[in-house]
Amino acid sequence: MSTKKRNRAKRSGSPSHKRGEVSVVQQPEVVFDRIGRPEIDRILREQLGMSLALSVERSTVATVQAFVDALEAEDDAVAAVREVEAELGIEPGAQELPELTPEQELQLLRADVDQERRIAEVDKRLLAICREAIVALDRRAVRAEKELETAQRRTEQAQTQAGRHERRAEERVAEAQELRGRLDKAEQELASLREELSRAHARGEELETRLEHEAAAPAEAAPADGDVDELRARLAEREALLVEAHAEHERLEAALEAARREAARLHHEVGDGGDDGDGDEEPLPEVESVAEAVHVAAKRCGHLVFTERAFETAADSPFWRPDMILHDLVTLDKVAEAYLRPEGIGQPVGQLAQDLGLDWRSGVGDVWYGIHPNDYHFSHDGQTLRVAEHVRVANGAGAQRCARIYLAFHPGPTADNPLPRGVYVGPVGRKLPDSTTG
């Protein structure tokens, strides 16, 4: 017997697979001929540390398919070596070869070379999968870094904007406190003037009574008449001061109310006053544009009537805070609900809107209906409506910082307009032309 030793390959496809008994759940993108998915998955986990599904995800399907085909070809080469060994009488696992003829040795050598070539092909396919997986991971890492940088920039911008709005809100609160102090001072002055006026009236009545009692003595009444004239002059002066104090009081009240509304709006802009106290309301979704805000509001608001003009103008608006428009539209839906009640609201519509936190503006000068008829009129179901009220969403400079919601409150079917009673939403976004825009 020859003393030659068999140099067997360390890896083998193990031809003892129970191929006909394995039930394989195949993936549509990878085809298995004989070696099933569990065996391929096991080999990939041992060689690369990743499952078949992960290999397909991070590599091309063609590369994984080529690996499967090469592995099956290696299995065939191993089986061919076993067949040759059986023909030559070599027992499985034998380390020494029997005496072989040159032709037999050549036959066995060719089978071994073919097995080694198949093994090398499998290794090459496995290396290709590994390389593609590394490239895919590198690309994901680069993309994740870019997304992280973008998120960090957006966070920094949001923090900067929030800080700016916080400072503005603090300034408005300080102004409101100052106006409250001025109002208190005016109320004190008004009370003092009222007391002085009351005393003056009492003095006048006293003098008039003295005049009536001394009517029989005209010579002595002259000084009293002079006192009455002087007192009446002083009364007129006090009444003028009182009227002025009333006007100042009303002006201060209006300024204080405006400051309160502005402070509430600024708090809403920075995110701490937007829920109107209804903690059980569904939170508003995030919107990326004014058009998206109007579409979301149209689905959410069951009492407002959104006209075609609302969607057209919203698509043209570049306003940078569409979430503010969505919030004000949802709040307007509460106003519309109250407007539709048969018993009425019980207060002016504008007052209700202001109580809900809206920056309400009523009335449009008749001159603008004639100068810009196409802007201040819009249609719905073939009927023409006219802008009468609007909400000032934001009042910055430019279309990106300034936004309005224009409305028409229709009282109900009339001879000229058969539309039902309701609140109709007109232009949304850009501010309509007026005296401030030219």
pLDDT in tens, 317-365: 999 999 999 999 999 999 999 999 988 888 899 999 999 999 998 876 5
* Residue 197 and residue 128 share a domain: no
* CA gap 78, 229 in Å, rounded: 133
Same domain, 145 and 168: no
Q: Are residues 425 and 296 in the same domain?
A: yes
Q: Residue 324 and residue 335: Cα distance in Å, rounded?
A: 17
Of 152, 185, 206, at which residue does a domain stop? 152
Give the E-state strand segments of 199-258 in sequence order.
none
Distance between CA atoms of residues 407 and 411, nearest Å: 13
Last residue of a domain, one of 104, 131, 152: 152
- Give the residue among 289, 330, 291, 287 at the shortest CA–CA distance from 313: 291
At 424 the pLDDT is 97
Let me know whether 133 and 246 are in one domain: no
Of the three residues 103, 121, 152, the one that is the final residue of a domain is 152
Distance CA 396, CA 156 (A): 22
425 and 324 inside one domain: yes
Same domain, 95 and 176: no
Does 235 fall in a domain? yes
Residues 231 and 344 in one domain: no
**Mind listing the pLDDT tens digit of every residue in the chain (438 residues)?**
333 444 444 344 443 333 334 344 444 578 888 888 888 888 888 888 888 888 888 888 888 888 888 888 787 778 777 877 777 777 776 677 777 778 877 877 887 888 888 788 888 878 888 788 788 888 888 888 888 988 988 888 888 888 888 888 888 888 878 877 877 777 777 777 777 767 777 776 777 677 666 655 554 444 456 677 777 787 788 777 767 765 665 566 556 556 656 655 565 555 444 444 444 567 899 999 999 999 999 999 999 999 999 999 999 999 999 999 999 999 999 999 999 998 888 889 999 999 999 999 887 656 567 677 888 899 999 999 988 889 999 988 889 999 999 999 999 998 889 999 999 999 999 998 876 665
Flag whether 437 is in a domain: no
Q: Answer whether 0.75 is exceeded by the pTM.
A: no
Distance CA 380, CA 426 (A): 9
Query: For residue 49, what are the domain limits?
Result: 37-152
Answer yes or no: is 219 within a domain.
yes
Is residue 192 in some structural domain?
yes
The pLDDT assigned to 277 comes to: 44
Q: Specify whether 176 is located in the same domain as 243.
A: yes
What secondary structure letter does DSSP report for 154?
H
For residues 51 and 106, membership in a common domain is answered with: yes
Q: Are residues 89 and 206 in the same domain?
A: no
Whether residue 213 is found in the same domain as residue 103: no
Instruction: Transcribe 279-316 into DSSP letters.
Output: TTSPPPPP-SSHHHHHHHHHHH-SSEEE-HHHHHHHHT
Encoding tokens for residue 10?
């360390």
Indicate if 56 and 169 belong to the same structural domain. no
**Tally of domains in the chain:** 3
